[in-house]
Structure 1
Amino acid sequence: MLITTMPLWRVRAQTISKQGFGGINNSPGTMNQTKKIVSRFPSTPAFFLAGVLLISLVLTPVLSFSQQKDYLFYVKTHCDNLITYGKDVYGTKKSHMLASVIDSRDMSVPKSKVPPTEGTRESDRAVGGSNYYHDVETIRILDDLTQLTGDPKYKSAGEDYTRDFIKYCQNPYTGLLGWGEHLYYNFFNETIMEGDLDRPGTMFTHEFIENTPPWTYLWNIDSAAVRKAIAGVRGHFRSPVTQSFLFNRHARWNKVEKPEYRGLEQYQDGGQAWIKHSGLYAYSFSFLYDKNHNPEWKRWAEGSGNLYWNYRNPKTNLIVSCIDDPRPTGRYSSLTSTALLCYYLLKASAINPAFAGFREKAGVMFKAAEKFSWDPKQNSYHALVDLDGKPVGTEMIPVIATGYGVADMLLFGSVAAYFYKVTGDKAYLAMVKRVADIVVDHTWPDKFVVNSLASNLQFSLDAYEILGDERMYEKAKKLAEIGVQTLWSGKLFLREPKDPYYEAKLGTNSLVAGFLRLHYLEKNNKPAASIGRWSI
């Protein structure tokens, strides 16, 4: 048989013409430029090698530039463009608030008609305006950027944003802030609203979301406003002198008229006492008590913080997800929901010694939920468990939820990591390792929303800190690379692949925070990257 071989230099020439020099930059413009240069040299080894040397000298700095961009580059560029293009320059009243949705094609703030991503309710977004709660992590990032770069514009942008948020978004009657799950400030009609300009809502529903309220930061900007805001949280409960501390996760941001209630108009007469909100209220009231030592706020903190403990099954220490709610998602125990309540209680316990008891109760409930939810045969956790400890149905908690609005194993894992960081209890260390071993080899899907990538990146960094497992550090770096390849527009991180929109609600800035943590780790500044600074 006659076998012919092609000279190595000619193989390399064909490779360059197809891939771009060195495979560093495969953009059409660079490939064409490379082909043109290569084609000018005669087809002999000596001339070709001379051409390669010339290309190396001329093109390599240009071609490899994208490879030299470190994590801080993406954090800084994203924030620079958010500050530059996201400010409220619309309408008659300009403000320093930052837009929650930006169209990366022209860097404008769209008024409406931005389709929702998977799992997102169209009415619960801030299209055309700003939701400060979506930017809790953004504010932390801006503060850090000033420390890292020495440029005061980042810190100033966060503080100016916060001042205008308080100025324009606090209801003068109820004290509640226009933020959270439903409310935002619309740049174009210059008011608090739900929905968008095409389909505005009418309820003005105040509801906290997952992130811990940034009361300390807000207090340092305007303590009087924070006192009013936390006092207004009582509007979620049934009366100002409640003994049951049953509440509704929904309250009315605006003044309401219910004549039959005779002075109790702002208080709730319905259910919806969802579990995580109990912890958020306890954290808020604990914060206010620590500031003024008014025993009334201690009463509210203990009442809301102990509510689910008082409703637990004392034999299993399992708790429902929503008191008096007959739906399966409410009447059974959920590991992810219990984890959030316990997380807020642990944070509240650290605010003031008066609330030290929250820590022990949080640990008991958290460990019980993990114990009864785990299924060793399936190497996974049951989504729902009855209070007697028996699994309900066959649904398991997803390892990674690729849409928005579904709690996955990563949330539980990050809470367990925080518990271990604070308490040193090795039971939580085992939980983190269990989740890490499941997640580390999980194949990343092509279709996803940014919050799922952000959660995976954050958990990987949490697990690396807690376990010292280099696999998780490598996992985090690979996830960051996926973020750059699929979500980076050149100016902002976007909400999903092949989508033109930046949307803060979807955890975009949690992804940016993950990049900042990676930067700190690269610079061997582990304290700055710690879960203690970046937990939700």
Structure 2
Amino acid sequence: MAILGRGDWSVNSLCMPCILAAAVSGCLADQSRADDDDRFYQHAKGYADAMLLHAQDTYGDQQSSLMLSMIDRSRLAPFSSMPREPHGIRNSDRVSPHGANVNLDFNLYRLLYALSEVTGEPRYRENADKALRVFLEVTPSPTTGLFAWGEHLCWDLKSDSPGTNCRSDPSKGHEIIYIHEPKRPTVLSDKFYEFNEKAMVGYAHALWEHQIGDHSTGNFSRHAYYDHHEPGLNFDFPKEGGYFLHDWARAHQRTRDERFLNYINILADRYLEKSRKTGDSLVAFDSQREYADTSASLSLAIDATHAANLLPEGPDRDKLLRLAAALDKGLLGLPHDVSDKGFVMYVTTDGNRELYSHKENGGYSYLWSMKYGRKTTGMLGTLCFSRAAQLGDSREGKAYRELAIHAADKYFNEAPDRSERPWPLELGIVTNLELLAYRETGDSKYLERAKDIADHGIDFFWTEGNPLPKADPEAAHYENITRADTLAYAMLAIHVIENRLPAELGDLDIDR
């Protein structure tokens, strides 16, 4: 029975044994309703079926099983030119009209694997396998080894080449530039190594060679060039750094190549030094601005621990755990007010730990209304559950768990507003948050609230009987940048829970 997480990253799994253990007192929802009403399953499966039928690559000279990341819902076909962007989205972050962005489709592929578990139909798994094998074979840059994926980059299925909407500044004639910046952690790394270890090892080295600008200090930029060597400096975001630490640890686990330990040590030292400089164990957002983004620091703590768990006992592993513990100290020492204002989202790193008032919402997390650069209370709550699962019954683990439960409670009286054009991602995160609260407490009110939020998702995004969800409630098209795959995956989790199915779905904390 496959666990659809990152191997060691399945601590947050919505697995049936965990849920049943939490619900021995009869807290599961009425079983007859679950049997009679399979709307969540039908919408999640219909989405997957439509993607396999209408989104797979039939374009260009080299046709594959990769799937379009943007589709005209009225024709169930690609666009010839870019449609209007969804609410809160920058055009530079979108795929090209025939683009496939595997990084932002991770939960779609995980949905396909889960559907093979739930339905017993191998076609979902087989199509996912084919697509990911093609991705690993054709998208690595012959110059750098980086993949064509992430926040600004895709693989164009019509031109069979990298695709993007990024363009340089006017002094360079608006030429197209290919920027590598992973948006989600490499959640499918186990399968990737199974399919093409050479490409994965090459990618791990490429992160060091072409993403890290200063090999003596670990200074880097989250932006690197896909097609040539020109690494930047000083935009060393903790979130992306955590992704790199995990990818190097996984590569070392597979190859025992000592170079990966060197990469890990240099970058971990950089973040440890940053935490010491602030005097409060927080890590600044980058090397230019004097504030911390708490979601990025929490993401780094989680991934540093994932990486540590892949390494053998010794000083390398200990350093990563020491980094994660330092971040816990800073994060748990903040004046979070989750039940009222939200999580502290932005805080100064000058030793005073003051809310960074230059940010919107007074430095606190938003409940809804996601857009570029904005994180929600649900996202922070989900990450708190993940960190709590790593820390167990320790004092810190209990503190994170309490914050996460408060976040789940906050959404009981706060429904999403269609007029604000929320993303499917927002509702998917909150659906998952409520399911995690149900797992932790066994209280059926959280399961019922998860269903309420998912129902809002059906009403907002699955309109006109179309199997593909809208990019936002006012958009006319599907586009993976607003990450409906997370909502569909959470909807399938509801079906698995209510029907007590022997399937295990991995964690849903990869949207950060």
CA displacement, residues 144-196 of structure 1 (integer Å, 9 cap, x when unaligned): 21122222111111011112212321112211111111111112222102118
Q: Identify the range of structure 1 (226-235 vs 438-447) with the bigger mean alpha-carbon deviation.
A: 438-447
Name the SS for the 1:459 alignment partner: helix
1:252-304 Cα deviation digits (max 9, x unpaired): 1113xxxxxxxxxx252533112211111111111111111111111102222
Q: Which runs of 5+ in 1 are unaligned?
A: 1-66, 256-265
**Match status 1:352 vs 2:319:** no
User: Which residue type is aligned with residue 123 of structure 1?
Assistant: S
Give deviations 1:465-495, integer Å, cap 9, x for gaps. 2233333211110011111122114312221
Instruction: Go from structure 1 to structure 2 and tell me whether the alpha carbon gap of 1:473 and 1:231 turns closer, same or farther (over 3 Å shift).
Output: same
Of the three residues 233, 237, 241, the one matched with 2:212 is 237
| CA deviation vs aligned residue, 1:22-68 (integer Å, no higher than 9, x gap) | xxxxxxxxxxxxxxxxxxxxxxxxxxxxxxxxxxxxxxxxxxxxx84
SS in 2 for 1:98: coil
**What is the one-letter code of the residue matched to 2:100?**
S
Q: Which moved more, 1:182-191 or 1:81-90?
A: 182-191
Match of residue 442 from structure 1? 414
Give structure 2 stretches of 5+ with no counterpart: 1-35, 168-172
Looking at structure 1, the residues matched to 268 and 175 of structure 2 have their Cα atoms a distance apart, in angstroms, of 31
Change over 3 Å in CA distance of 1:431–1:68 after alignment to 2: closer
Q: Find out whether 1:509 has 2:485 as its counterpart.
A: yes
Give the stretch that moved more between structures: 365-374 or 495-504.
Answer: 365-374
CA RMSD of aligned residues (A): 2.5
CA distance in 2, matches of 1:379, 1:248: 32
Distance in 2 (alpha carbons) for counterparts of 1:443 and 1:534 = 21
Change (3 A) 1:446 1:116: same
How far residue 223 of structure 1 moved from its aligned partner, in angstroms, is 0.6
Distance (Å, rounded) in 2 between the aligned partners of 1:170 and 1:164: 11
Matches within 5 A, 1:300-449: 300-312=263-275, 313=277, 315-323=279-287, 325=288, 330-353=289-312, 354-375=316-337, 379-387=341-349, 388=351, 389-393=353-357, 394-424=362-392, 425-447=397-419, 448-449=422-423
Equivalent in the alignment of 2:445: 471
User: Residue 137 and residue 376 in structure 1: after superposition, are their counterparts in 2 closer, same or farther (change >3 A)?
Assistant: closer
Which residue of structure 1 lines up, in the alignment, with residue 150 of structure 2?
Answer: 180
The residue identity in structure 1 corresponding to 2:310 is I
Counterpart of 2:225 in structure 1 is: 252
Contact 1:124–1:181 under 8 Å retained in 2: yes
Query: How many aligned positions are there?
Result: 452
Query: In the alignment, residue 486 of structure 1 is paired with which amino acid?
Result: F
- Matched residue of 2:415: which SS? coil
C-alpha contact (below 8 Å) 1:175/1:229 kept by paired residues: yes
Higher RCO (CA < 8 A, seq sep 6+): 2
Sequence identity, in percent? Answer: 20
In 2: Cα distance, 1:269 partner to 1:443 partner: 42
What is the CA distance between 1:200 and its match in structure 2?
8.4
Pick aligned residue for 1:290 from 240, 253, 266:
253
Q: Based on CA coordinates, which of the two structures has the bigger radius of gyration?
A: 1
CA distance in 2, matches of 1:378, 1:351: 38
In structure 2, the CA distance between the partners of 1:516 and 1:306, relative to structure 1 (3 Å rule), is: farther
Please, what TM-score do these two structures have when normalized by structure 2?
Answer: 0.83
CA deviation profile, 1:352-386 (whole Å, cap 9, x unmatched) = 23525423431331342242242489543333222
TM-score w.r.t. length of structure 1: 0.79
Larger deviation, residues 280-289 vs 180-189: 180-189
Q: Which amino acid aligns with 1:385?
A: V
Amino acid at match of 2:132: T
* Conserved? CA contact 2:221–2:231, under 8 Å: yes
Instruction: Give the ranges of 4+ consecutive aligned residues of structure 1 lying more than 6 Å apart after TM superposition.
Output: none
What is the distance in 2 between the residues matched to 1:533 and 1:456?
13
User: Does 472-481 or 339-348 show the bigger shift?
Assistant: 339-348
Whole-angstrom distance in 1 between the partners of 2:135 and 2:174: 20
